[in-house]
Structure 1
Amino acid sequence: MAAILSLAGSNSSTSINYQLVQYTTSLIEGHEIRLLNMARYPFPMYSQDEENQKGYSNSLVELKDDIQNADAIILSVNEHNSNPSAYFKNVIDWLSRLERKFLLNKKILLMSTSAGKRGGAGSLEVTQNMLPRFGAEIVSTFSLPSFHENFSSNEITDDRLKIEHKKALNTFLETLK
């Protein structure tokens, strides 16, 4: 049994990426799941002055510990102007200052969704290229386009996308055996 940390890279209380993470974790059996709602993790904008004057917050240290105590991570990143949100990038900046390889040996199912037809593809690509610098192994990816047309009643409604999602999840879970 693996310990899986699940979260969205969004701090919105109505995050569709968080809904995708919740759905994904509902499909997993036989593993210990820890679901984090990042809307409860406020972090100041990173600056060296802030770091020098105040150091690292307890929330940041706890998040880093949660990541390091997990065997694997399910992450769905939101998109702002074809990139990860400033909030998500800020969290990465803080974590990497606390410990550069904070994702060392972490297997990751990386997902993204958006209201648009590209499903957060820009953010997914940027994040997929960024996380290995911090030690992550991206095992599989999934993008859900047009969230409001393809997700309802807490599940993916498009059969083709549901199969794609299940395949990405199964690929991820197979690496945890």
Structure 2
Amino acid sequence: MKLLAFAASTSSQSINRQLVDYAIRLLTDGLVEGVPAREVEVRTIDLNDFEMPIYSIDRQNADGIPQPAHDFYDTIGAADALLISFAEHNGSYTVAYKNVFDWASRINMRVYHDKPIVMLSTSPGGGGGGFVLRSAAHLAQYFGNDVLASLSIPRFDENFDTATGTLANPELDVQLRDALATFATVVAEESDS
């Protein structure tokens, strides 16, 4: 399984990136039931590598679609599955993610290429980025996405040990492993083909 993983944030201190990194480690160390480590090849991307002008139809008509949008779209297309952790800004996507997504949707509305995905979110507060996660999971059906699982991690500073890079809350850790275990269906399909 070729897994594309990223945080929908451009922050150099992104807690969502820390969560993605931990999830990747669980997968590549063989700590997720039904997903053998030898079956997982992970590529991570940084949204900072896809910086573009703010989308507008006038800009598209004048200059076309910027190359970073094509690169983002093609990178998703090359993966078998996606792992995204959404940062929440004022109850919604970060501007950086929304912009790259908007540009990519002008190439093809099925930005996610019908790839199976596990969606995560976290925040310092009790909501755990739940607003953006629910929105992303709901809207995914319109953009070519099969959401296998979604999980919100509240109170990041209380539930995540930044020194070890692991979830310190055992219940949330089990929930994360269960969410990642849904990738077993992707691995099984890859083995059958």
TM-score by length of 2: 0.87
1:169 aligns with 2:180: yes
Whole-Å separation in 2 of the counterparts to 1:124 and 1:173: 22
Mean alpha-carbon deviation: is it higher for 32-41 or for 119-128? 32-41
- Contact 2:111/2:144 (<8 A) preserved: yes
Alignment of 1:66-145 (within 5 A): 66-145=75-154
Measure, in 2, the Cα distance between the counterparts of 1:157 and 1:27.
Answer: 14
Q: Secondary structure of the equivalent of 2:96?
A: helix
- How far residue 175 of structure 1 moved from its aligned partner, in angstroms, is 3.5
Cα deviation, residue 41, structure 1: 2.3
Per the TM alignment, residue 119 of structure 1 is displaced from its structure 2 partner at its CA by 0.5
Q: 1:53 aligns with which of 50, 62, 67?
A: 62
Instruction: Report if the CA contact (8 A) 2:47-2:96 is conserved.
Output: no
Task: Give 1:39 deviation, angstroms.
Answer: 2.5
Aligned to 2:33: none
Q: Matches of 2:2 and 2:18 in 1, distance apart?
A: 20
**Letter of the aligned partner of 1:11 in structure 2?**
T
Give the partner amino acid of 1:103: Y
Structure 1 unaligned segments of length 5 or more: list them: none
Aligned-partner Cα distance in 1 for 2:186–2:6: 19
1:174 shift after superposition: 3.2
Aligned residue for 1:117, secondary structure, equals: coil
Work out the percentage of aligned pairs sharing the same amino acid: 34
**Cα distance, 1:107 vs structure 2:** 0.2
Range 34-43 or range 75-84, more displaced: 34-43
Gaps of 5+ in 2: 28-36, 189-193
Based on CA coordinates, which of the two structures has the bigger radius of gyration? 2
Q: Contact 2:167/2:173 (CA < 8 Å) preserved in 1? A: yes
Listed one character per residue, the Cα deviations across residues 79-136 of structure 1 (whole Å, up to 9, x for unaligned) are 0112122222222211111111122320000000001011000010011111210110
In structure 2, the partner of 1:6 is 5
Q: Give SS of 2:127's match.
A: coil
Contact 2:81 2:186 survives alignment (8 Å):
no
Q: Which runs of 4+ in 1 moved over 6 A?
A: none
Matches within 5 A, 1:33-44: 33-44=42-53
The alignment's TM-score, normalised by the length of structure 1, stands at 0.94
1:22 aligns with 2:3: no
Q: How many residues align?
A: 176
